[in-house]
Structure 1
Amino acid sequence: MKSVIAYFSHRGYNCVDGKVKYLEKGNTEIVAHMIACVSHLPLFKIEPESNYPDNFYEYLNITQQELANKAYPQLKGYLHDHYDEIYLGFPNYWGTMPRAVFSFLKELDDNNVVIHPFITHDGGDYGSSLTDIKTLCPHATITEPLSLKCTHIKCQLSAIETWVKKGSHD
């Protein structure tokens, strides 16, 4: 079975526990690396062609506009091979996935693919993201998501290990 961890994450200024803080690595990237340590799977970073600004409020404005416009931002790269299993990570933005993840899924060959979503959030859980994944990937099997509050990520290794082991047996 060919598997990969594909994730979108924003480093720089982020909202963590209600406060704007600078993060060297975004929360979802931290979780993606934790999953890679447990699973030994390769990582694929979902990156928009145009970098988002470091300024948190400008960044929020752009992501909100992308959502309102139902934008599909161009990405720096896409998965060129077919994968049977994708661990898909992203933060909850405005109640769903970042629009870059929409772009990624729109181009994905979802035939016979199992998607294991993992979502980081500051209290919003996964919102409508699972419905959005199912809409974009109607032929994929979507497993039980892993939802992690940003303030608790670093102490969640055992929950991540359990989730990965469960996902690899679905």
Structure 2
Amino acid sequence: MTPTSDLSRRAVLTALTILPLVASTSACAQPGNSRSLANGKVLVAYFTRSGNTRVIAGTIARTLGATLFEIRPARAYPDDYEETVAQARQERDSGFEPALAETVTNVATYDTVFLGFPIWGETAPPVIRSFLRAHDLQGKTLRPFITHGGYGTGNSSAVLASHAPGARVEDPFVMEADQERRTLTQVNSWLGVKPS
């Protein structure tokens, strides 16, 4: 993929994501609306593998003038897509929650937390569970934004409810963004490799 085509893909993702978010946050910021973001401090925390969720997170942060925080495990996931899928499946099945590279030191100062992540194995990635367990979001508004490869949000709502007790979890912004999986499928097809 050339830098130009990558930029075009990112521009399209940005355009697709900003319209619903701007409409949603504009509605929230109307006078007299108790969900106004204007008076509260906003954090945009996200985890990404391929960059799709990063594009959405950056758009939200720029639009709202929010603080941006990338969630990273202390030990990075493999660069290879299939190795990452296998590791994530093993972590999910065992209930493992990886250590974080760093935490938000002043999370208490934020009123609203936008939380972005891709769906892995029909659920939130283990590192999202780690993030939620490491940060007390009680009394805060949690606004999830989720990317997925065509299978929907799985049980991620249940994960958010159980790992962010006391937070007001709003309905998520959800977007299919499966470029990595689609690319892998097409390359394997071209090579004559049957899916496993």
Smaller-chain TM-score range? 0.7 to 0.9
Helix, strand or coil: the match of 1:65? Answer: helix
Instruction: Give the structure 2 partner of residue 36 of structure 1.
Output: 61
Is residue 3–residue 41 contact of structure 1 (8 Å, CA) maintained in 2?
yes
- Per-residue CA deviations over 1:106-125 (Å, capped at 9, x if unaligned) read 11112211100000011122
User: Matches of 1:136 and 1:62 in 2, distance apart?
Assistant: 21
Which of 67, 78, 83 aligns to 1:58? It is: 83
Instruction: Give the structure 2 partner of residue 10 of structure 1.
Output: 49
Residue 131 (1) aligns with residue 170 (2): no
Residue 98 (1) aligns with residue 125 (2): yes
AA at the equivalent of 1:46: I
Helix, strand or coil: the match of 2:114? Answer: strand
TM-score, reference length from structure 2:
0.68
Is residue 49–residue 74 contact of structure 1 (8 Å, CA) maintained in 2?
yes
TM-score, reference length from structure 1:
0.78
Structure number with larger C-alpha Rg: 2
Which of 142, 145, 155 aligns to 1:118? It is: 145
How far residue 57 of structure 1 moved from its aligned partner, in angstroms, is 1.1
- Per-residue CA deviations over 1:78-117 (Å, capped at 9, x if unaligned) read 1121121100000011111100000000111122111000
Runs of 4+ in 1 over 2 A off after TM superposition: none
User: Matches of 2:43 and 2:148 in 1, distance apart?
Assistant: 22
Q: CA RMSD in A?
A: 1.3
- Per-residue CA deviations over 1:3-48 (Å, capped at 9, x if unaligned) read 100000013xxxxxxxxxxxxxx11111111112211211100000
AA at the equivalent of 1:47: R
Is residue 150–residue 178 contact of structure 2 (8 Å, CA) maintained in 1?
no
Q: How many residues align?
A: 138
Instruction: Mark the runs of 5 or more structure 1 residues left unpaired by the alignment.
Output: 12-25, 153-170
Instruction: Give the structure 2 partner of residue 147 of structure 1.
Output: 174
| Greater helix content | 2
Helix, strand or coil: the match of 2:104? Answer: coil
Identity, in percent, stands at 33
Instruction: Mark the runs of 5 or more structure 2 residues left unpaired by the alignment.
Output: 1-39, 180-196
How far residue 151 of structure 1 moved from its aligned partner, in angstroms, is 5.6
User: Matches of 1:50 and 1:151 in 2, distance apart?
Assistant: 24
How far residue 74 of structure 1 moved from its aligned partner, in angstroms, is 0.4
| Greater strand content | 1
User: Matches of 1:103 and 1:36 in 2, distance apart?
Assistant: 22
User: Matches of 1:151 and 1:128 in 2, distance apart?
Assistant: 18
Q: Which has the higher contact order (CA 8 A, sep 6+)?
A: 1
- Per-residue CA deviations over 1:108-150 (Å, capped at 9, x if unaligned) read 1122111000000111221111111011112000011100011
